[in-house]
Each structure stands twice: as structure tokens, then as C-alpha cells.
Structure 1
């Protein structure tokens, strides 16, 4: 299901043909049940190496699902502090190849010089944002300057509605059962934009990139993720300018401390009819809808 917010193009023209790297693949499997075995085709999610290159120098290699890669590159670049905004990316080109995909970006020279000072190489695990960090100094980064979390309240019923609807906005999950999603939800509980990936960090970077490109105001709603809430997920939400992060699973202790310091309302274990608020719970309003009273048709 596509997003409902228009997205502005980045410099560099049209995105590469994603048919070169499909988001899923068909494989032969042996399905075993209590009294039967059957050879079948099954659809599984794809991962490919995606290299992010700035001004001709490779900075990071991530394993990602090959969809919405311009969004991914922009979201990663801003949430990781490589650039401050999309205007500092002067050109972006997605280049598919046999071994993977290279995303070539030309960034403002002051940003490139700063990047070289803290250059790192990320490689390997699915959406692991801290893999390969050369110094512990960069593992726990200061909160982004100049980005204050919105102090807007969020209604319990809006969170509950979005949680109930999220699966319907995940076509890749419906096909493969293996994708994470990151969604932007407005104050009424309507899901406005979703991005999917095999990696939870990647899905959030894709969402952030799409929101930056659409010039969408991040303070009037919340981010919903289909995963746990790690420290780095909170950092990315802060960079996005959102004021609340809702996760269907648990947060880490470091994520809670970071959210507390950043003014982020952090909610975990968000399931139909239940949730747990970990910090800034005073911004939650209203009561949980009774069974059978959840709103319908909000999409």
C-alpha cells in the first residue's frame, strides 16, 4: 500500500530499476505438517548489500531489502548526522550491480570533511546500525542539536487503532512473513506512510527519508514500528523531529534513558487493547477503547 503523502524527487533523476533486485524471491521448500509432506514454492524476503558512498568514498555497507532505496539513503544520511538536511545532498544515484547496489551521493564539502573525521565502515548484519563502529565514542552519540522533540499529546485510542491496522499496510510481510515496518501515524490514528525492510533500522531510515522528501511535519503524530525499540531507533526518531515512538515489542534500558532525555514519549508492547508507557507517559490522553469499539475504516 503506497503512502498518501506526495514525495519530492531528489537530485540525480529517476531511481534505478528495482526489477534488477526484487524485494522477494521464490524458493522451493518442503512443507512438513502432522500427516503430510509437500514440495512447494515459497516467497521469501530478499537482502542485498547496499553501499552508501559520499563524494566517491564508501562509508557504509548495509544488508537491506532493495526497495525505496533513495528514501533509505536520505534517511540514513540525516539520522546518522552525515548531513543536516536533504539540501546538503547535491546528487544521488542508485547503481545496481551483480554483487549488490551502490548509492552514490555528492554532499556539501563541509559535511564531507566532517565525515572523513569520523569515518567508519559498517558491514554485515541485517540493519545493524552499530556494526563496524571503530570507536566507542561514536557508538553512543550525543542527541542531535537543534532538533527538539514535539511535546504534543498522543491519544491511547489513536495508538490502538494504528496497531490494529499496521499489518494491512505491510504487503511484503503478507507475502513473506519476514519484513519489519516503520509507519508514520497522524494524531487521529490514521497510518499515513509505511516503509518495509528485512531490517528494523532500515525500515525506519526509509520512513525518515520519505518524510524528509515530502516535507511532512513530524511533530503532529507518532512513529510506529513493528519491532523492539533500541537506542538507535530512538536516535533516529529524534533526528526525524517526532515526539513519540511506539513499538510492538520491548524497549531496551538505553532506549528508555535516551527517550527520557530527548523528551520522546516511548511506548512498548503495543498490541490491540494494551500497551506499556516507559517515559513521558503524562502525554498519553484518553482511555483504551473497549473490545469491539475500535474504530474501523481509518485507512
Structure 2
């Protein structure tokens, strides 16, 4: 497994002028098992970079733990063709996890695979405690700056990015993954490890905006989530309830606000 999220694979390129054999750089995708106190809980297909951040962020945004201090240790161990990320968490949280009886079988682009009830899939999202106005120029600055931080995508062209921007639009942290949910979980974990997100900050993502993306942004405490592509109806409803401004189609000098438009200033 590589350390930069990309691997080389032989390919055959066909054009009008004929064909040629070449070596292509492609995104690496592996099975990552999240193991809590010795019990495997979720298997996700992910880019094998920043996996400690991924495990920490997943644990927080999925509310397996309530705070970073309830994660005592994280170890990343290659196992066969995949990777195990082994976490030691507080006994109280482990008891709660066992009660949930959830067995996730994740794959790229799917953040709810294996959830066994509608209540579990559509659980209430806590409202952001201190939502603040976000300026349109800040959103555009953050989105414009995102490509410079996408080192993996520049190499293989196949990964999403999630970034945390301060109120002025400066990107504080960016994480990448083949799965958009995974990228946002990695961002959540990185922010938690560094002491948390600052007030008035917001999330920018290089994908569409679904319910799960809003839910994870709310768990981080984002005032807004801005996406390069479209939102879903449930994402809009969830953003309204959570107090997260939802901005989409941020490109070509325009953007569209779908939730809490009054908080996006010019």
C-alpha cells in the first residue's frame, strides 16, 4: 500500500491513431475496518491516508464517542489486503455502541450502509451552538483555494476534498479521500486532534451535499457547508434544523443558498 493515496497500474490507451501501453496513476482504495475495544464495527472503502484522523472523526460524527478525550488510543495495522484501525474507547461509550447493534458495511459514496432502522438512519442532528454569518467572498476564497491543497487529487484525479475555512475564507485544514464522507470524517478528526474548529468557520467540499455531509458538518460546529455541486432535499431540511447555512453550486462566480440564506452576507 502506498503512503500518498495513489498507485501505478498498467493500462491500454486507445485513440483514433492507434493504441499504446502505459502506466497510469490511480487512486488507491482499500478496505478499512474500524475496530473498537477489540470488536469490529464498520468496514469502509477508503484512501489509506490520515486514517487516525478518519477513525477519530468517524467516532465523533457518528456519535460513538461524545468528545475526543473518550478515545484513549488509536493504532493502524495492515491486515491482509486491508487495514484495521484499532481504537480503545471509554467503557461507557463501548457499552452504548454494543447496545446500538449496528454493523456497517460501507462502500465509496455510501455513508449509511448497514444501518438497521429508519430511526438510526435519520437520527436527530444537534443544532450548531454558535452559528455566525458567513461572507460570500469568504466562501468563494475558500473554494478557490481548495485545489492547491488537493495533493492526492492532483496526482490521480479521483479523490474528494473537505476543508475547514476560517471566517475570512482562509483554509485551515484539508483532507482527501475517494469517499466524500470519509474526507469529511478525516477533517473532523484532524480538527479534533488540533483542539477543535474555530468560531465562525465553515466547511467546503468538492462534491454534492447530502444529508450525511450536513450532519457531519453540524457535528463539527460549522456555521455553513459550501459544496461545488448540488444538495439533496434531505440535506436542505437537515441544514434548516441544525442551523447550518447550506450553499451549493459554488463555481463560475456564483453560488446558491438553500438554507439560512439570511446568514450569507455580501
- Does TM, scored on the shorter chain, surpass 0.5? yes
Distance 1:236 1:80 in 2: 8
Q: Tell me: CA distance 1:189–1:272, structure 2 relative to 1, closer, same or farther (3 Å).
A: farther
Structure 2 residue matching 1:32: 3-state secondary structure = strand
Which residue does the alignment assign to 1:296?
none
Structure 1 residue 178: deviation in Å?
A: 0.3
Structure 1 residue 272: deviation in Å?
A: 3.3
Which residue does the alignment assign to 2:43?
61
Structure 1 residue 127: deviation in Å?
A: 4.6
Distance 1:164 1:208 in 2: 21
Which residue does the alignment assign to 1:226?
206
Which residue does the alignment assign to 1:186?
166
**What is the correspondence of 1:18-167 to structure 2 with a 5 Å cutoff?**
19=2, 23-144=5-126, 148-167=128-147
**What is the correspondence of 1:274-293 to structure 2 with a 5 Å cutoff?**
274-286=254-266
User: Which of 204, 208, 216 is the matching residue for 1:236?
Assistant: 216
Which residue does the alignment assign to 1:293?
none
Structure 1 residue matching 2:115: 3-state secondary structure = coil
Structure 1 residue 36: deviation in Å?
A: 4.1
- Determine if contact 2:160/2:207 at 8 Å carries over to the other structure: yes
Write the deviation string for residues 10-48 of structure 1: whole angstroms up to 9, x where unpaired.
xxxxxxxx75x6521101112233434322111000111
Aligned residue pairs, count: 266
Which residue does the alignment assign to 1:254?
234
- Determine if contact 1:160/1:272 at 8 Å carries over to the other structure: no
Structure 1 residue 253: deviation in Å?
A: 0.2
User: Which of 241, 246, 250 is the matching residue for 1:266?
Assistant: 246
Structure 1 residue 150: deviation in Å?
A: 3.0
Distance 2:142 2:18 in 1: 38
- Determine if contact 2:37/2:88 at 8 Å carries over to the other structure: yes
- Determine if contact 1:71/1:208 at 8 Å carries over to the other structure: yes
- Determine if contact 2:9/2:24 at 8 Å carries over to the other structure: yes
- Determine if contact 2:226/2:248 at 8 Å carries over to the other structure: yes
Name structure 2 gaps, 5 residues minimum: none
Distance 2:194 2:103 in 1: 30
- Determine if contact 1:63/1:127 at 8 Å carries over to the other structure: no
Distance 1:38 1:253 in 2: 45
Q: CA RMSD in A?
A: 1.5
Write the deviation string for residues 132-157 of structure 1: whole angstroms up to 9, x where unpaired.
1122220101113xx62432111111
Which residue does the alignment assign to 1:6?
none
Q: Tell me: CA distance 1:242–1:63, structure 2 relative to 1, closer, same or farther (3 Å).
A: same
TM-score scaled by length of structure 1? 0.85
Distance 2:139 2:177 in 1: 22
